[in-house]
Structure 1
Amino acid sequence: MIRISSLVALVAAIVLLPSCTSLSPESRLRSGLEEAGLPPKMAGCMAKRMADELSLTQLRRLQSLASLRKSHMEEMTIERLLHKVRALKDPEIFAVTSGAALRCAL
């Protein structure tokens, strides 16, 4: 019986370990916004607010905007970002993103 509980503890540790080492949704979002061309201060501010207000499913939908990489565009503006976010056709993602952009710009 002791061996089974030790095995269960080992399996649990192996399963839970990757979650400890992975990046938080906020840091992944901040990094993505920076890679898209937003200034680091603006990206950090927006990521904090967006990660707090959006579900993980919605944050994953934002990952589909990976085509916004800096190498493909001359300069990322908030207007251009919001245009792309609106194309996701999720009013909540758009409202949270535009609200975060407005609050962080002030």
Structure 2
Amino acid sequence: MTLSLRRSVMLVAFPLVVLSGCTSLSPESRLRARLIEAGLSPRMAGCMAQRMADRLSIAQLRKLQSLASLRKSHMEEMTVDRFLHQLRALEDPEIFTVTSKAAIRCAL
């Protein structure tokens, strides 16, 4: 590949790569959506997601996705206390600590 052809490919590819990053949801927005699906209020979910997204690993955030299925069996809004009780079942002390601190800060 010649230098000018390589440069042309890069000039076309770079904006496409940048734009593709804009179309995917951030971990924070995904977490917020999952917390709402789990039954937390939108205000509480947004506040907690903001505090949790940068403190938990991708693997831990994926574990949290399982909590969204709780909402399907319980149609009323989930309380923070009940949410933390369900969270403990994930058996990850770091997830519980980060989430409970976020819940306390956001509740105040």
TM-score with structure 1 length normalisation? 0.82
Task: Give the RMSD, CA atoms, in angstroms.
Answer: 1.9
The residue type equivalent to 1:105 in the other structure is: A
The residue type equivalent to 2:48 in the other structure is: M
What is the alpha-carbon distance in structure 1 between the residues aligned to residue 16 and residue 62 of structure 2?
24
SS state at 1:53 partner: coil
Which position in structure 2 is the counterpart of 1:25? Answer: 27
Q: Gaps (5+ residues) in structure 2?
A: none
* Percent pairwise identity: 63
TM-score with structure 2 length normalisation? 0.80
Task: Work out the number of aligned pairs and report it.
Answer: 105
Which position in structure 1 is the counterpart of 2:43? Answer: 41
Does the alignment pair 1:73 with 2:74? yes
Q: Please identify which structure carries the higher helix content.
A: 1
Q: Deviations 1:72-102 (Å, cap 9, x if unpaired)?
A: 2133121221122212211100100111111
Does the alignment pair 1:95 with 2:97? yes
Higher Rg:
2
1:16, CA displacement in angstroms? 4.2
- Compare 17-26 and 86-95 and name the one that shifted more: 17-26
1:52, CA displacement in angstroms? 2.7
The residue type equivalent to 2:63 in the other structure is: R
Which position in structure 2 is the counterpart of 1:63? Answer: 65
- Compare 15-24 and 91-100 and name the one that shifted more: 15-24
Q: Gaps (5+ residues) in structure 1?
A: none
Q: Deviations 1:19-47 (Å, cap 9, x if unpaired)?
A: 22111111111111112221111111111
Find the partner of 1:86 among 85, 88, 93.
88
Which position in structure 2 is the counterpart of 1:7? Answer: 9
